[in-house]
Amino acid sequence: MNTRYNKWIMPFLGLFIFSGCSKFLEEKSDKSLGVPATIDEFKAVINDWGYLNSDYSSMGEASADDLYLSDADFNGLYYESDKRLYSWMPDYITRPASSAGHEWYACYKSIYPCNAILKGLDEYQLSGREADELRGQALAFRAARYLDGVQIWAPIYNKETANKDLGMVLRTDPDITLPSVRSTVQETYDLILTDLVRAIPLLPTAVTSPSLPTKAAAYGLLARAYLIMGDYEKALLHAEEALKFPHQVIDFNELNSGAAFPIPATNQTSAELIFYTRMYGSLMVGVNTAKVNGDLYSMYDEHDLRKVIYFRKNNENEILFKGTHMGHQGLITGITSAELLLIVAECEVRLNRLDKAAEAMNKLKVKRWDKSKFLPYGFSNQESALALVLAERRRELVWRGLRWVDIKRLNRDGANIILTRNINGKELLLPANDKRYALGIPEDVLEMTGMPQNPR
C-alpha cells in the first residue's frame, strides 16, 4: 500500500475499532496525516485493492456445510475463537483485536476510505467524469462491504421483521468520533440498494481490471441483494441488466485440470469475473487445510468438469478445494457472469417461466461439462426445476462466501436445512433458523461502543 495513504487511513481505523482515547483525538488534527484532496490522490485510494477488495468475511464460509476440518486440524487451530466459530458457539467467535483476522475491523477498514472519498469530493467541489467515477466506485465499494457484513452479523432479511431486526452500524461519514449505533436490517439493505442505484449512472461501463466496480458490477450486486431479500422480480431485472454488458463464461473444456490453479489470473479467464473481491484467508477455509464435504463432492457428475477443475485429492484421499477464478490470488467473493446466470435461472423458476430458466442454466452448463457428454436441461415441473437450479448454484458457487447466506434465505422460506458437525467424536447440530445464524458481534466492539449483541 502507498505509505502516504497508509499513514492517512490506519490511525482513523484504529480509533474506530479499538480505541477511544482523547490523546488520539488530539493527534488526528495533525495536518501531516496527508488527507487526499485531488483527483489523483483519490484515485490512489480507490485503486488500493489491498484495502477495498480484500478480506471480505470468511466467517460464514467457515460456519457453513461445504467444508469440514479433521480433528487434528481443529485441535491445532491457534485461536480459541476459531474453534468456537467452527463449533457454532454463540459468543467469543472473533479473534482478538490485536490479531489479524478481526473481520468486523476488516469490514469497516474498507468503509472508512469510501466515506472519506465521498466527503472529500464534495468538500473540494471536484467535478467532471473522473470525479463522478470515483464517487460511483466509492458508493459501490461501500455497498459491497455492507452487503457482505449483513450476511454475517445480522439475521436474514425477512420483510415481516426487517424493521426491527438488528443490522449493521451504518457509517456514511468519515468522522470517527460519531457514536456507533446499530441500524435495523431494513435500514441496512436500504442503504445498500440506494448506494448501488446512485452508483450506476456514475460508473464506467468498462475498466482495465475487475478490481474496480463498473455498471455491470453494481447491477450484479443489486441482483445478489434482491435475491437474498427474496424479491425475485427485481433480482431478475438487475441480473439481466448486468448481463447486457460484455461478459464471458469460461469454457472448462479449454482448461488444464491437472494444474494447481486451473483458472489462472489471465485476461481471458478473469473476463468471467465482473467484480473482484476476495475473502480473508483463514485457516478454516484454506485450500490446504479445509476438506470438502463428501455430500457436496458427490453432487458433481463424472462428466462435470468442475469435479477436476475445482477439487483435488491429497495423499489421504481427502478432497481439497483448488480455488476458482484468478488463480492463486485468493478465494473470490465477487460477481461473476456465472452467478448472474444462476440468479436469472432461479428467479425464472420462482416466477414459473421454466423455459427461460432452462435457457439460462444451459448457457452455464455447456461451459462446465465435457462437451462430448453435454445434455441440456429441460424443465417441466416448477418444484423439481427449483431443486435442480439450487443444486447447480451450490456446485458452481462453492467456496465463494455465499453458501451461508443461501442456507439462511432458504431456511427462511421453509427448506429446513439442518447443519451437522462431528468434532472429536461429538456431534453438533445447527437447526434451521437458529439465532446463531446471525454471528455474534465481537465482544471488544460491544464493550467499546455499548451496542447490543445479536439475540443468542
Helix/strand/coil (H/E/C) assignment for every residue in 347-410: HHHHCCCHHHHHHHHHHHHHHHECCCCCCCCCCCCHHHHHHHHHHHHHHHCCCCCCHHHHHHHH
Domain of residue 104, residue span: 39-258+333-344+401-449
Within a domain: 350:
no
The answer to whether residue 62 sits within a structural domain is yes
Output the nine-digit C-alpha cell for 431: 437447526
Does residue 323 sit within a domain? no
pLDDT at residue 16, rounded to an integer: 45
Q: Which of 31-35, 171-175, 192-196, 340-344 has the lowest mean pLDDT?
A: 31-35
Residue 26 has pLDDT above 70, yes or no: no
Using the predicted structure, report yes or no on whether residue 35 has a pLDDT greater than 90.
no
Whether residue 349 lies inside any domain: the answer is no
Burial 88-118 (b: 16+ CB within 10 A, else e): bbebebbbebeeebbbbbbbbbbbbbbbbbb
What's the mean per-residue pLDDT of the chain?
91
- pLDDT one-digit tens code per residue, 147-179: 999 999 999 999 999 999 999 999 999 998 899
pLDDT at 11 over 70: no
Whether 299 is covered by a domain: the verdict is no
Residue 226, domain CATH: 1.25.40.390
Domain count, the chain: 1
Higher per-residue pLDDT: 4 or 379: 379
Residue 109 lies in a domain: yes
CA–CA gap between residue 344 and residue 329 (Å, rounded): 28
> Which helix (H) or strand (E) element contains residue 422?
strand 419-423
Instruction: Specify the pTM.
Output: 0.93
Q: What is the mean pLDDT of residues 225-247?
A: 98
pLDDT, tens digit (0-9, with 9 covering 90-100), for 85-99: 999 999 999 999 878
In a domain, 125, yes or no: yes
Asked if residue 295 belongs to a domain, the reply is no
